[in-house]
Amino acid sequence: GENVEQHPSTLSVQEGDSAVIKCTYSDSASNYFPWYKQELGKRPQLIIDIRSNVGEKKDQRIAVTLNKTAKHFSLHITETQPEDSAVYFCAASKYDYKLSFGAGTTVTVRA
């Protein structure tokens, strides 16, 4: 099955700086790559996603890039704010609509 690796496991950034989380996947047939944010004690919620026919997607301060050749994708958060502190999960799926999740990155934004 699909194997998704996520790095780093923890990330501490100064408020206003950028944060980058990277994921690699194993199955070249994967074509959908969502990112979920989970605040403490809350449910995971989709923040952005990208499909394999697109190389980059942006939504305000967050962006995702995809390199199909290298089988990796990344989440970029610019101008980080305290409310960006959370656990972020990347995931990948194929036509079967099953998501395989990375282990998560705990992001802490220091004031």
Partner 1 sequence: DADVTQTPRNRITKTGKRIMLECSQTKGHDRMYWYRQDPGLGLQLIYYSFDVKDINKGEISDGYSVSRQAQAKFSLSLESAIPNQTALYFCATSDSGSQETQYFGPGTRLLVL
Closest CB to partner 1 among 84 and 89? 89
Output the CA–CA distances (angstroms, integers) from residue 86 to 31, 41, 89, in the order listed: 26, 10, 10
Stretch that binds partner 1, among 12-20, 43-51, 59-67, 76-84 (CB under 8 A): 43-51
54 binding partner 1? (CB under 8 A): no
Give the x-and-dash track for 4-23 against partner 1 (CB under 8 A): --x--x--------------
- In the bound state with partner 1, the residue whose beta carbon lies nearer, of 32 and 71, is 32
* Number of residues that make up the chain: 111
Residue pair 25/2 in contact by the 8 Å Cβ criterion: yes
Nearest C-alpha neighbor of 20 from the set 90, 99, 100: 90
**According to CB under 8 A, which one of 50, 85, 89, 109 is a site residue for partner 1?**
89
The token pair at 30 is 């994967």
